Structure 1
């Protein structure tokens, strides 16, 4: 680390005590950000100041937040999301296939609308993007977090979460189907005038191993008037199917295919 005059260090510390960000102090005085951060740490230590990371967590600050975006993000989390919460590592991750760039953008937008302060990054992986938001407070917003896989533990919404889902059911359904669901075209044949004729029809499918998450999905579908059935693969009833024409039309209007 380069040696700097006491006056420069004094000016940097005074600026930081006034609330100027490390980045701005570094740019103003022509000092590396790492040096500024070290000076801030030493100044706090000398004054016995306990540093508390600022947060805009709605559960910890009673801050109003975007309920519509949260309902969508909750659906994404219950599908293809997870939280890492360790002593020095905290983040929410949503995994989105590269084939759906619009979904990647929506996931990032929802994170920023629910909690604007934490940094959000995208990490490219094989065939997908991991959208990550860094803060330990995602466990406050998603109390369903816990050790192990979701389908190996109880998944139940808190009353405040259920109230949001009740107010924005379609956003919750969109999040679920955008994570663990799809819109497909099925086909069948019928004999018409003695000849086989092919018929095609759209269907929505939601697939998840968790009985609790599937029930959250099916209960919400029922509340908005969507008819659904359980479609088993072998003996595993992991699929919720929406195939009736009127219900597919509702799904097309409010959910739509991934993009």
Structure 2
């Protein structure tokens, strides 16, 4: 095992512009060792610091602090269209799914994920969509709603500390819900003109659809807190969300608030 002094010297020489081969020759080490250190796989000081801090950033396992706005957004996105899987070495992976036609929302979610935990997210492309992924052993610590089976098949209740953040950051929570699994649509109502001709009246509305009544309640509680009027009805026809609850926001003043909170999807 090489000393810390030699490892540090290789980084100093790299900063001076030397090649990996020149650094290896000058320090008397193999080029493979230099490349390991350079790419963060062995004794890179920054990597060692991150490894030592793997638990410190978790608010449950240590005294880590959550970015409340970013967490509220990520919570809405996770409950709307996300899930957590267990990968190798007991590392959990958070997946949030977005349509490929919304690159700005993908960037928004990526930034929120990396603001919640000091990790490097990555993307898994699918036909027509992309999954934003982040690996950490501590996702279940801040998303205790994780469990086996679909979210609508089990109870989804926020813990008191989560509810405090959701109430404090209701706008970010709503934004996460709508960005991940909601929509803004134009409703058209047929209307006859005085001359007997046909026309139609258009107005925008927001929809959020979910098969979990608990998730619907979390979403509508945030709407209530901000004074946003909503109605709910059950989808009786369309698969695969038949019998899912649809929250509709269509009153002019309520839509205006949603336009300000959610912003354009692009």
User: TM-score, length-normalised on structure 1?
Assistant: 0.81
Q: Which runs of 5+ in 2 are unaligned?
A: 25-30, 44-50, 238-242
Query: Partner of 1:10: helix, strand, or coil?
Result: coil
Deviation at 1:197, TM superposition (A): 2.6
Number of residue pairs the alignment of both structures matches: 234
Q: Which among 235, 253, 258 is matched to residue 246 of structure 1?
A: 253
Residues 174 and 255, structure 1, Cα contact 8 Å, conserved in 2: yes
Q: Is the 8 A contact 1:182 1:257 kept in 2?
A: no
Stretches (4+) displaced over 6 A: 33-40
Correspondence for 2:236: 234
Tell me, in whole angstroms, the C-alpha distance in 1 between the residues paired with 2:99 and 2:34.
35
Q: 1:13 to 1:110 in 2, by over 3 A?
A: same
Q: Counterpart of 1:182?
A: 183
| Whole-angstrom CA distance in 1 between matches of 2:116 and 2:246 | 30
Structure-2 separation of matches of 1:75 and 1:105: 16
Distance 2:133 2:172 in 1: 20
Matches within 5 A, 1:50-61: 54-55=54-55, 56-61=57-62
Alignment CA distance shift 1:218-1:10 (3 Å): closer
In structure 1, the gaps of 5 or more residues are 1-8, 41-50
Cα deviation, residue 31, structure 1:
2.5
> Contact 2:212–2:244 at 8 Å: present in 1 too?
no
Deviates more, 1:148-157 or 1:87-96: 87-96
Taking the aligned partners of 2:209 and 2:41, their CA distance within structure 1 comes to 49
